[in-house]
C-alpha cells in the first residue's frame, strides 16, 4: 500500500513510527484450532451457497451437513468455490522473497526484483491457460509493466477485475505489502483454471506496477480504457496487505453492493469486518473509483494501531501496529500471519464464484484420456482414447483440439467432434525429424464450456533438438538457474526459476541470458 501522504487532496498520513528489526524468512503455522474453525465456518458458507441455489430443502438447512433430496425433479450439480491452500499461497511468497534477496533486498517497480516477480506470475498464468499481456506504463515514475490476465469465457460486457500491486518499496522485500495480495490473486487464478467452471461473467486478474509511487500503474491502465471498456467493468476488487501479522479485518466500501460477497464471507467466519478507513485513497481501487467503477477489496492493516475493541474480537495486540514491518526491511515471509492470509484467499475464491461462476450449469461434461501418456520413436505414431461424459443437463456437441505438441508432431482426432458421452481416437504422428524429449500435450474439448486433460508424449530416437544438441525451450517445462536451452536459433542460460517465460520475450532478461546464436 502507498505510504501515508496527500493524494489528490486527501491527507492519508497515519500515526506511528516505522519499526526496526528484521523478521526471519519462513512461515509460522496457524494453530490447529484456527484451521479447524476456519474450515468449519467455510463449510457453513458452502452450505449456504447450496441453499441459495435451491439444492437444499428447508429441513436440510436447519441441520447443517445433512442434505435432504428434493421430492422430485433431476439432480442439480452445484459447484462450490475451492478451499484455497494457504501453503500454496505461501510458496509464491517464498519466491517473491527470493527475488528480492537476489536483487538488492527489494522488488521496487522497474527493478530486477520486480521484473522477476512479474515473469514468475506470468509463467504460471500462461501455463494454466490464461491470455496474458504486459502493459508498459510509460507515465510511471519507474517505467515498467502491468500484467493483465484474462480467463476465457463469460460475457465480456460483464467483466469483473481482481487486482493487486506487485511492486514494493526499496526499503524491503515487500512480502506483506504487497506480495500477500499478489500471491492470493495468483493462487486464486490457478484454482479457477484448475476447476474451469462455466462462467456467467468475464474474469480478469491484474498485477499493477508503481503503486508505491502514487498508484501509477493502475491509473495508467484505467486512463487507457475506452468508455465502452470502462462500462464493461462491473466491479473492481483490490487486495493490498492481506497477511498482516497483527491482523485486522477490513473491507473497502463495506456497505456497497460490490463489497457484499467479501463482507459475507468474513462475516460467516465471525470476524465482524470493519470499513478500511486507513487504506482509503491509498491503493489501486482509488484509480477505479475515480473512473466511476464500483470497487471493494480486503486489507488487514498497515501502520495504524489496533484498538482494544478490535483486539477483543480479532485477537492480537492492542496498541500495536497491524503490520509492525510496514515499508521496512523486516517485511519478509516472517512478517506474514498465515491465518489472515488463508481467510483472505478463501474470501477471494468465494467472491469470484458469487460474482462470475455459474454454480449450477445447465449442461456440462467431463473429458479423460486413456492412456494418458505414451512413448513414440521418431518416424512412428501412437493412439489414445479421448472419452467424454455428460455430467449435468443434456448431451452436447464437443469439438476436440490439441496444443503443446513439439514442432512437426501432428495430433488428429477421429471423429473430431463428438456428443458428450461418446469417445474419439486420437492419433499422434511423429516425423523422423522430431526432437527427442518429453512434452505435455493439452487435449481440449470445447462445448458450452471447455474441459482439458494432459497427454504426456515422449519422443525417442529423434534429433537432439537443435543448437548443437541443446534441448529446445518448452513453455510447459520448469527451469532452474544454469539450465541451458535453445530457442529461435539462440542458446539461452537460465538465471532464475521460471515456467512459461519465453527466452527473448520482453522482460525475459530477468530469467534468461542470451548465449549467442547457434
33, 50, 44, 45: which is closest to 349 by C-alpha?
45
Closest to 287 (Cα-Cα) out of 233, 323, 326 = 233
Pairing type for strands 498-499 and 478-479 reads: antiparallel
d(CA 377, CA 83): 42
Tell me, yes or no, if 33 is annotated catalytic.
Answer: no
Q: Which residue has the cell 522430431?
A: 434
Distance in angstroms (rounded) separating the CA atoms of residues 335 and 338: 10
Say how many C-beta atoms besides its own lie within 10 A of residue 59's C-beta: 10
**Which of these, 511, 373, 369, lies nearest to 445 by C-alpha position?**
369
Phi/psi for 491 (5° steps) reads: -90, 145
Q: What is the secondary structure of 391-460 as a DSSP string? A: EESS--EEEEEEE-PPTT-EEEEESSEEEBTBEEEEEEE--TTPBPEEEEEEEEEESSSEEEEEEEEEEE
- The residue written with cell numbers 517485511 in the block is 331
Task: Out of 187, 211, 212, 502, pick the active-site residue.
Answer: 211
DSSP state for residue 82 in the 8-state scheme:
P
The DSSP 8-state label assigned to residue 327 in this structure reads T
CA 369 to chain centre: 27
Sequence-distant (≥ 6) Cβ neighbours of residue 72 within 8 angstroms: none
Dist. CA 226–CA 204, nearest whole Å: 16
Q: Residues with catalytic annotation?
A: 211
Amino acid at each position: 500500500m502507498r505510504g501515508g501522504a496527500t493524494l489528490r487532496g486527501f491527507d492519508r498520513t497515519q500515526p506511528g513510527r516505522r519499526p526496526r528489526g528484521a523478521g526471519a524468512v519462513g512461515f509460522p503455522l496457524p494453530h490447529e484450532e484456527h484451521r479447524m474453525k476456519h474450515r468449519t465456518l467455510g463449510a457453513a458458507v458452502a452450505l449456504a451457497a447450496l441453499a441459495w441455489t435451491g439444492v437444499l430443502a428447508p429441513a436440510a438447512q436447519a441441520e447443517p451437513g445433512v442434505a435432504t433430496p428434493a421430492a422430485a425433479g433431476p439432480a442439480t450439480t452445484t459447484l462450490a468455490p475451492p478451499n484455497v491452500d494457504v501453503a500454496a499461497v505461501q510458496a509464491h511468497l517464498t519466491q517473491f522473497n527470493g527475488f528480492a534477496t537476489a536483487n538488492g533486498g527489494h522488488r521496487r517497480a522497474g527493478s530486477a526484483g520486480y521484473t522477476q516477480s512479474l515473469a514468475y506470475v506470468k509463467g504460471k498464468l500462461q501455463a494454466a491457460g490464461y491470455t496474458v499481456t504486459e502493459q508498459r506504463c510509460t507515465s510511471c515514475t519507474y517505467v515498467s509493466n502491468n500484467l493483465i490476465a484474462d480467463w476465457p469465457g463469460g460475457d465480456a460486457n460483464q467483466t469483473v477485475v481482481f487486482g493487486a500491486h506487485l511492486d514494493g518499496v526499496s526499503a524491503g522485500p515487500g512480502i506483506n505489502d504487497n506480495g500477500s495480495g499478489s500471491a492470493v490473486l495468483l493462487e486464486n487464478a490457478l484454482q479457477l483454471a484448475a476447476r474451469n467452471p462455466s462462467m456467467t461473467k468475464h474474469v480478469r486478474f491484474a498485477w499493477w506496477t508503481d503503486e508505491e509511487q502514487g498508484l501509477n500503474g493502475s491509473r495508467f491502465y484505467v486512463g487507457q480504457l475506452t468508455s465502452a471498456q470502462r462500462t464493461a467493468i462491473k466491479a473492481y476488487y483490490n487486495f493490498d496487505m492481506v497477511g498482516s501479522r497483527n491482523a485486522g479485518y477490513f473491507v473497502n466500501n463495506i456497505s456497497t453492493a460490490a463489497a457484499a460477497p467479501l463482507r459475507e464471507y468474513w462475516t460467516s467466519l465471525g470476524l465482524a469486518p470493519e470499513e478500511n478507513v486507513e487504506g482509503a485513497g491509498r491503493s489501486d481501487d482509488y484509480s477505479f473509483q475515480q473512473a466511476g467503477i464500483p470497487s471493494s477489496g480486503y486489507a488487514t492493516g498497515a501502520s495504524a494501531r489496533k484498538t482494544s475493541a478490535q483486539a477483543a474480537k480479532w485477537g492480537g495486540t492492542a496498541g500495536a501496529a497491524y503490520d509492525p514491518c510496514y515499508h521496512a526491511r523486516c517485511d519478509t515471509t516472517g512478517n506474514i500471519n498465515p491465518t489472515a492470509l488463508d481467510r483472505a484467499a478463501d474470501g477471494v475464491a468465494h467472491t469470484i464464484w458469487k460474482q462470475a461462476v455459474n454454480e449450477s450449469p445447465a449442461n456440462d461434461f467431463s473429458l479423460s484420456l486413456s492412456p494418458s501418456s505414451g512413448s513414440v520413436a521418431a518416424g512412428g505414431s501412437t493412439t489414445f482414447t479421448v472419452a467424454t461424459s455428460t455430467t449435468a443437463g443434456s448431451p452436447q456437441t464437443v469439438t476436440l483440439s490439441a496444443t503443446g505438441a513439439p514442432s512437426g508432431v501432428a495430433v488428429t482426432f477421429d471423429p473430431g467432434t463428438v456428443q458428450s458421452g461418446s469417445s474419439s481416437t486420437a492419433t499422434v504422428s511423429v516425423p523422423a525429424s522430431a526432437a527427442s524429449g518429453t512434452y505435455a500435450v493439452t487435449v481440449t474439448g470445447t462445448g458450452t464450456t471447455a474441459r482439458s486433460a494432459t497427454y504426456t508424449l515422449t519422443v525417442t530416437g529423434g534429433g537432439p533438438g537443435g543448437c548443437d544438441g541443446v534441448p529446445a525451450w518448452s513453455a510447459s517445462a520448469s527451469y532452474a538457474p544454469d539450465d541451458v536451452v535453445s530457442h529461435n536459433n539462440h542458446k539461452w542460460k537460465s538465471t532464475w526459476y521460471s515456467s512459461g517465460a519465453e527466452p527473448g520475450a520482453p522482460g525475459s532478461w530477468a530469467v534468461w541470458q542470451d548465449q549467442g546464436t547457434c
